[in-house]
Amino acid sequence: MLRTLLIELSHSEVLRKFSMKNSLAKKTARRFVAGETIKEGIEAAKELNSLGIKTTMDFLGENTKNEEEAINCSKEIIKILKAIEEEKIDGNVSIKLTQLGLDLGEEFCKGILIKILEEAKMRNNFVRIDMEGSPYTDKTLKLFFDVLEKYKNVGIVIQAYLYRSMKDVEEIIKRGGRIRLCKGAYKEPKTIAFPKKKDVNENFIKIMKVLLNSKIYHAIATHDEKMIDATISYVEEKKIPRDSFEFQMLYGIRRDLQAKLVKDGWRVRVYLPYGTHWYPYYMRRLAERPANLFFILKNLFKG
């Protein structure tokens, strides 16, 4: 219930405006967001690298309302690619297609995406397309398949909570695409997504096994120790090379587990968001773990 409410509130424009001006919300969002500027993002990336952790940088933004906004986002993403190279960061970028104008037209969005992919290719880097809510699944996959024909430096995300995901995975693998597997962070109806966590977890493990057998470099993105243990057991059982995949986690979540995996010799990449449009991202993080609300309340009473 609380999770659903928080995800619904993430679409509220009034609350977004209020939170972005509210210093407590800003302060608590900093747990999950590296800062508001590219400089802060790069500093956080360097810190992660110094701990042996790779990064994927995300300039926060989604559902841009006009072409100018979308083009400005793409310029910032190109700046990140440049900064990653110049500052010798072990990192790549993650993007959202609605940030690049998917709501404004598929051809427009594709044009911007190709500019980013060209820039990344020139700098020998990689671009991950995040997966958004289900109204965008088909459009996102279609654009991904379109660009995958020419660009090998692009990957996609699959959400284990969708019933359709195993089929999508098979098609992506057939075309040689790289996948980040996650559970899924949006509110979806039970007609298209498993309503029970247990079923999501079972599907996650089934897909994880398919990915690890595919001989393509994929990412297993979770903070769930059960999912991580299942992955490690499978890798050890099948003698899959450790460097043939990576674990991924979100900035500010389970830093202890990130460090432990690195210490144990696993590849770890942290999704590192920065920017001023942190509100919907922040609300999704709160929704994933309602205990986070108590963290906020505790700060509120601390004054």
Residues acting as catalytic residues: 130, 180
For residues 288 and 6, the answer to whether their CB atoms sit within 8 Å is no
- Helix (H/G/I), strand (E/B), else coil: 131: coil
Which listed residue (77, 80, 148, 157) binds ligand FDA by CB under 6 A?
157
Select the span of 11-19, 143-151, 179-187, 272-280 touching ligand FDA (CB under 6 A): 179-187
Burial class (CB in 10 A: 0-12, 13-18, 19+), 220: buried
Which listed residue (59, 186, 194, 245) binds ligand FDA by CB under 6 A?
186
> What residues between 273 and 292 interact with ligand FDA by CB under 6 A?
285, 288-289, 292
Cα-flanking dihedrals φ and ψ of residue 19, to 5°?
Answer: -65, -40
Select the span of 3-11, 59-67, 82-90, 184-192 touching ligand FDA (CB under 6 A): 184-192
How near is the Cβ of 239 to ligand FDA at its closest, in Å? 25
Which listed residue (41, 184, 273, 280) binds ligand FDA by CB under 6 A?
184
102 to each of 65, 68, 112, 167, how far by Cα in Å?
10, 13, 10, 24
Query: 111-147 burial string, b = 16+ CB within 10 Å, else e?
Result: ebbebbbebbbebebbbbbbbbbbebbebbbebbeeb
106: contact with ligand FDA by CB under 6 A: no
Which listed residue (6, 44, 109, 249) binds ligand FDA by CB under 6 A?
249
224: contact with ligand FDA by CB under 6 A: yes
Which listed residue (182, 220, 268, 272) binds ligand FDA by CB under 6 A?
182
Cβ-Cβ contacts under 8 Å for 29 (sequence gap 6 or more): 19, 278, 279, 282
With respect to ligand FDA, which residue has the nearer C-beta, 67 or 298? Answer: 298
How many residues at the interface with ligand FDA, by CB under 6 A? Answer: 24
